[in-house]
Structure 1
């Protein structure tokens, strides 16, 4: 299979299963009316999310009215797990914390089991695997004492996934325990969860085992799919059925060749139908990826390409954009284009892949930052709880001291004096130690907050470097396109000259892209080389002038590569489209605003102007990223220099000629 579908496939299917459905009926006699209704509302989270949350909040209000802390904690646990499905991290943390805090204050082991399951789900969601295992083991122990076999089966399956790949022995151990609990429960959904966990363990062993192990796994997966189909109406988590189909289809590809194509495609078709109906992105991506890879390996490139294109069209018809899925599909289309030798199609697919891959990266980075913040807040809260416990312990010790003194008074004044003296010294020393620990914990919290500020500063620097690095491939792409055009037109000498200048300019840009700042003199030299390249490309059809105000020092430091995109726009969209009898002109003027510590760069041209340029670009499909990237860079700079930015306007046609005026406020860096 293509790399983007296989590398994380096992991990992804574990994520889908992991905590996808924790709570079902346990023992009817132990379930209150409030919990029962909250459970029914939770079951609607796939079919009607709004109704699901409404019912759960209604039961939460009733639990508060009845002053039932057990029901209140369980309702919060349900709401937390519902918010996990909706990917609402802030609400997920809030409800999980409320559930756990309430449960710990009470004595109900049932409420504590629900709360620990919700906290385990939260820790897994923010990639805190060790804490997730601890909470789930706590929930597993509590549910085991109640003989809640259906919930034990699901939680044991989740624990099995968390031990992959670090501990295969524990992965197998909890997968087998999940099967045992599921068998005792008689609940089809619990049985499916357990079988999927054990099936994943069997799939992991296929890399080191032979044909007999594959046959064993195939028999097990066929039985699993049969169980899911027979009890489909009793299984609330429809996604687990889709995962069973994908797992079985994937297993066909690992067996003897040729594979059973009919069965392979049938399972993928069923998985795709479930993914579309219940909006399960990972199942959709895995099913399309498996089928596309199969046809690619088979040599049926047209069918593979059509499959990925239909997948893209379906995604574009939805009200949201899954950038990860779009990037994966376009990357697979690139592989198909290479095998077909269609490099024109490869170029088109690569352009779209680059777009969605960048968006996917931004989403991934944002998600990682959110998870890191959540882990920090969780750690900070744990430190505060520990601090409060120390303070409570100190208060309790002082109470005991008072009781001791009262007891001593009953024995006698003399004995009381001696006992009070020594006890007072002991508890005073203990109090000093506890206060020292409290001060130490406060310093740790302050240090963690300082580290968070430093991390934020480092992140802003990284964003600036990332946006600046995006300018290099954008410029190189346009320059190579110009050279290719000259070669195709057999203009050999201009192409060689262009290539030499391009090599010199590329070296300058590569050197400057590694710097946080460059001097104004370096920036002007780079602009001169770039404009001369453009003059050569356009047969010297325009002139240029670069001037600096008398008070501008050319050794001042500014961010690199900010001005070139606007020169490019002036040439491409202003001068290039104008009539041949008009001699083009670009004027660049620098002056310094000493009060605001900014360098003001004014760029004017006598091109066709903004209005005419927009009319020409109406039917064009190409979208330039240069000014968008520059705008993002300047936006980030505004956090430190509020005046950073740029404006683009049209010359006054009454008092001036046609053309545009660009004014860029560039922060001067020390």
Structure 2
């Protein structure tokens, strides 16, 4: 295709077409020329110029009320926004396109736009939402007996989602189906799919199959002179050679990828190539070249906000400086790497969690709507029965039977639904509490502490930390499906957690867990309730304080109930809020919020009166800590 193989000639052609159309006052011709030029700019990495062309194209199509091509312009603009990581702008464009296509009932373009939605959500880690859009798109294509090309495209995209979710056999299955029906003349589409297939095989450890697919992909993309795809597949081949220990071949391929990326202004491709080169040079002991490559990777990744490459550049720089025995910079970049990895991973996981949460809320609302509709229908029947009263005693008796039957059915149905919704609420709040308790920050901080202890050659301390960390995670997961566990088990989990936090913060606070209950094994409590309050006391109460830091957790019986108290001598809630504000961090603990909601739900479910109260401790008006009282009324 001229668009891919000879972009300069294509630009001249588009400019000439625009000039002729302008002279003839031919809006449709102007719009088509602008759209073509936008596509050319997009293909070769010039996003800002492409968006300008597409917007101008849309304006001219609007003049002649051509909704189909207006929508096409919105789709192209959205795809370009996606290329540079602007998700919200992209989704807004796809919304505009979808509305226009629905107005003209263009099913094929509706399916294409749904596919675009899927791509955007996939790029930003929302894999469940992405898969939903792809499946909707595939259903429209298949039900309307579309040709192989669009079906192949969606199958390949579903494969990408499975690959991102690390379900590589499923990814290979979809990629293989896509390759089997791909039009042979579609060099670009087939080349990209083969490249993805090669990546999936590589992740499965099938390097021979991976190399075969990647080489086939490179050949096809070279024929089309599709620079963006060539950069990606050449980078991947270079990475594959690294895994095979073929360093010379790897350097040649990565430098080739870098040159193509520079020529085509492909910033992401440049960053990937530089990072891969840094790794190879470092392995070969060429530290100076490794350092230059890693710094170039970081500079480009920062400038164009490419998260995966920022993370990898930090990691590479840490390893390079440690090889240079520059431990100060080595540890500095190591902590930048782990903190950045933490934040990116946490954000993605939270987005996925909120996706599931949103789906739950929608299901819940739909259930309530269904119940209301059912009630309305039943009331209508009851009204009809009442009208038949005047036709005699038999009608009256029948009407009463129907009415009471309806009332009984309505009440029992509503009660059943309420029980179901209550159970669903309890389950999602339990999931929320579990997520809060073993959140990514805690996991990464723990792993970072273990790594740092190993690097400091404190192997005994690192082994102790690792053993406790593994035991804590196992206990939390073992108990995650239970509504109640023995108090003794909960105390053991809390003790492990506090010991880990104490090790992480260099034993900088004192703590004790007191139990004045005769038999802790005989009492049961809901798991994952107390820990968020202990976490909050340590992180926001004790750690910002100078001087002695103390934490006391106690369990006692009170009027037939179980009372847990979490007391710290920290800076207090007011000062903690000020500290959080200065650091631009959100202070409110989601873990505590979810735990409170969960106890409220369990009160209804178990007919109990559990409650949580928080008190600020003062000494002559000065904050001297915080006290949390958790009453388990059904223990």
Give me the CA root mean square deviation. 6.3
Of structures 1 and 2, the one with the larger relative CO (CA 8 A, separation 6+) is: 1
1:669 partner SS: strand
Q: Distance in 1 between matches of 2:365 and 2:428?
A: 13
Tell me which of 294, 297, 305 is aligned to 2:283: 297
Counting only pairs closer than 5 Å after superposition, residues 66-465 of structure 1 correspond to structure 2 as 84-85=82-83, 87=85, 109-110=107-108, 113-114=111-112, 116-118=114-116, 120-121=118-119, 124=122, 129=127, 132-144=130-142, 145-164=144-163, 169-183=169-183, 186-204=185-203, 207-208=205-206, 213=208, 217-232=210-225, 239-255=228-244, 257=246, 259-260=248-249, 263-270=252-259, 272-273=261-262, 277-280=265-268, 283-314=269-300, 318=303, 325-339=309-323, 342-343=324-325, 345-355=326-336, 357-392=338-373, 431-432=410-411, 435-436=414-415, 439=418, 443=422
Shift of 1:246: 1.0
1:117 partner SS: helix
Is 1:512 the counterpart of 2:508 in the alignment? yes
Aligned twin of 2:532: none
2:197 partner SS: helix
Checking the alignment, whether the CA contact within 8 Å between 2:235 and 2:253 is kept in structure 1 is: no
Shift of 1:242: 2.1
Q: TM-score, normalised on structure 2?
A: 0.54
Q: Distance in 2 between matches of 1:74 and 1:418?
A: 65
Checking the alignment, whether the CA contact within 8 Å between 1:401 and 1:423 is kept in structure 2 is: yes
Checking the alignment, whether the CA contact within 8 Å between 2:91 and 2:120 is kept in structure 1 is: yes
Checking the alignment, whether the CA contact within 8 Å between 1:331 and 1:349 is kept in structure 2 is: no
Gaps of 5+ in 1: 1-31, 478-505, 518-556, 566-595, 601-626, 645-664
Q: Distance in 2 between matches of 1:387 and 1:75?
A: 40
Checking the alignment, whether the CA contact within 8 Å between 2:317 and 2:333 is kept in structure 1 is: no
Aligned twin of 1:559: 542
Gaps of 5+ in 2: 1-27, 457-501, 514-539, 549-570, 593-613, 628-635
The alignment covers a number of residue pairs equal to 470
Closer, same or farther in 2 for the Cα pair 1:433/1:379, shift >3 Å? same
Q: Distance in 1 between matches of 2:274 and 2:287?
A: 14
Q: Distance in 2 between matches of 1:599 and 1:127?
A: 36
Closer, same or farther in 2 for the Cα pair 1:228/1:286, shift >3 Å? same
Q: TM-score, normalised on structure 1?
A: 0.51
Shift of 1:244: 1.3
Shift of 1:300: 2.6
Checking the alignment, whether the CA contact within 8 Å between 1:296 and 1:336 is kept in structure 2 is: yes
2:111 partner SS: helix
Shift of 1:102: 10
Max Rg structure: 1
Aligned twin of 2:11: none
Aligned twin of 1:618: none
Shift of 1:83: 6.0
Q: Distance in 2 between matches of 1:508 and 1:199?
A: 42
Aligned twin of 1:632: 583
